[in-house]
Amino acid sequence: MLPQHLSAALLELDASHSRRTRLTLESPQGAQIRVDGRDYLAFASNDYLGLANHPALIEAAREGLARWGLGGGASHLVAGHFGAHQQAEDELAAFVGTPAALLFGSGYAANLAVITSLLGRDDAVFADRLNHASLNDACLLSRAAFKRFRHNDLDHLESLLKSTPARSRLIAVDAVYSMDGDEAPLVELLRLAERYDAWLYLDDAHGFGVFGEGRGSMAEQGIAGERLIYMATLGKAAGVAGAFVAGSAELIDWLVNKARTYIFTTAQPPALAEAVRASLSLIAGEPWRRERLTQHIELLRHTLSGVKYPLQASRSPIQPLMIGGNEQVMTLSARLRAEGLWVPAIRPPTVPEGSARLRISLSAAHEAGQVQRLADAIIAMS
């Protein structure tokens, strides 16, 4: 698109109620946020355990800054791999039950790293249609045959596995889907991966810290094996930043040598790795956070069971209220905001046409009364 076309294209986004704008927080992340001088009760972030502003993580980062300094200074392979990074990787691997793990700057970078380093032109990747955009981009950039199967449709996936010749195969799924909140059938997917000699790659951005006593969806569904590759982000339930990939020692060694988004980027500040270590201690040692989260989910779903807008089936902190049209969802989100409630409106292309929704994100940082307040407001507007 040329510069002279941008204004008209932006106006088209306005006309379809699709233009996005950023809000600027004037407070730390939490159940209560301040935006443009006004306080809101927020149901928008992925801070599922309420750790993003936790004093223990802040102190761990502060001590890490004092010990290691601020910048990583170099890529991990040149001179940027600090002791804090190695300790965090060892502890993350032990936490999720794999031989090794590798830190990345983001989940996006991790997804690109894994899929593009394992697959090429003679290979095939099989991806759920509701996968996150970063997984789709990784599949495209790998240059492998890109086969998308209907959401959680194991028969469709198997038919594609049967009919697609390939040197190497990889099945890529979100363990918990970011806009619907439902889960992938990991046990059955692993069986298919074993039957058709494929990797199974799990993006557990929204399950880590929440399911499996905090150890994630892989632990929750009781699966393991050398063909499993596990990725989780650290900026959601863990409350920090970045991501990690966990798997066999050979897999991690391969990524260190071949993953371009790992090799050709400066290492994250080592102080963040210290905060990750502190977060793991809280995730493991404070199960009440997950218990409170479960109570909030049950309260919201029970209270909203009779409204005209249906909630998607989800036992995760992601509770999508299905509205339908872009204008309708933007209006409802604005009405809630006027009442001091911040709930984001999610529209295409993030979700399919006609399925615009309010994406309600619950957190252990919320109080039951705050969840009830949101539910009552939605009922009054329905």
Among 178, 279, 316, 355, the one annotated catalytic: 178
Give whole-number Cα distances, 108 to 63, 104, 139, 247, 363, in Å: 28, 9, 12, 18, 23
Catalytic-residue membership of 236? yes
- Which runs of E-coded beta strand occur in the chain? 32-35, 38-42, 100-104, 124-128, 145-149, 169-174, 199-203, 228-233, 243-247, 318-324, 341-342, 345-346, 356-361
Among 76, 132, 147, 236, the one annotated catalytic: 236
The owner of tokens 């999508």 is 320
Query: Encoding tokens for residue 378?
Result: 């939605």
Give whole-number Cα distances, 111 to 118, 190, 285, 306, 372, in Å: 11, 19, 29, 39, 37
Which of 113, 123, 73, 140 lies closest to 257 in space, CA to CA? 113
Give whole-number Cα distances, 305 to 302, 319, 372, in Å: 5, 12, 13
What is the rounded CA–CA span in Å between residue 29 and residue 220? Answer: 28
Angle among Cα 71, 284, 28 to the nearest 5 degrees reads 50
Q: What is the CA radius of gyration of the chain?
A: 21
Sign of CA dihedral 68, 74, 79, 80: positive
Find the farthest-apart pair of alpha carbons in the chain and give their distance in angstroms, rounded. Answer: 59
Among 85, 206, 296, 366, the one annotated catalytic: 206
Catalytic-residue membership of 178? yes
What is the rounded CA–CA span in Å between residue 70 and residue 2? Answer: 39
- Residues with active-site annotation: 178, 206, 236
